[in-house]
Amino acid sequence: MATASASGKPSKSLLPQGLSDSDTAQLHVLKALFEASPNGDTKLCLDIDEVALKSGLRDERETLRCLYILEGQKLVTPFPLGDLTSKKWCVTQVGAKAAKKFGL
């Protein structure tokens, strides 16, 4: 997976060609949540601020937008379950499986 550049934005150098900035941001958010759950423990959650920092986005609104998109795809979920106003988010089993499959 790509690393953050000096500007703090994720580098696209290791990502497949043709991904939009939005797609890239979503992958970085999924990766941040997946890495926070050692051994695929989907009960470990991060605050939105932590997700923003670890993903390299550093913008809470952009991070939240990515989380909503990923939640719609069943890859992440808020904690408590179903509370879209929550500040805590977790990777789901489906999200962990996808992250592993794509080598995040």
String of DSSP letters for 49-83: HHHHHHHT---HHHHHHHHHHHHHTTSEEEESTT-
pLDDT for residue 2? 42
pTM: predicted TM-score of the whole model, two decimal places: 0.80
* Burial of 94 (C-beta count, 10 Å sphere; 0-12/13-18/19+): middle
Q: Which CATH number fits domain 21-101: 3.40.50.300, 3.30.1330.10, 1.10.10.10, 2.60.120.280?
A: 1.10.10.10
pLDDT string in tens for the chain (104-residue length): 344 444 444 444 455 678 888 999 999 999 999 999 866 666 789 999 999 999 999 889 999 999 999 999 999 999 998 898 999 999 999 999 999 888 87
pLDDT for residue 13? 44
Buried b (16+ CB within 10 A) or exposed e, 26-40: bbbbbbbbbebbeee
Domain boundaries, the chain: 21-101
pLDDT for residue 44? 87
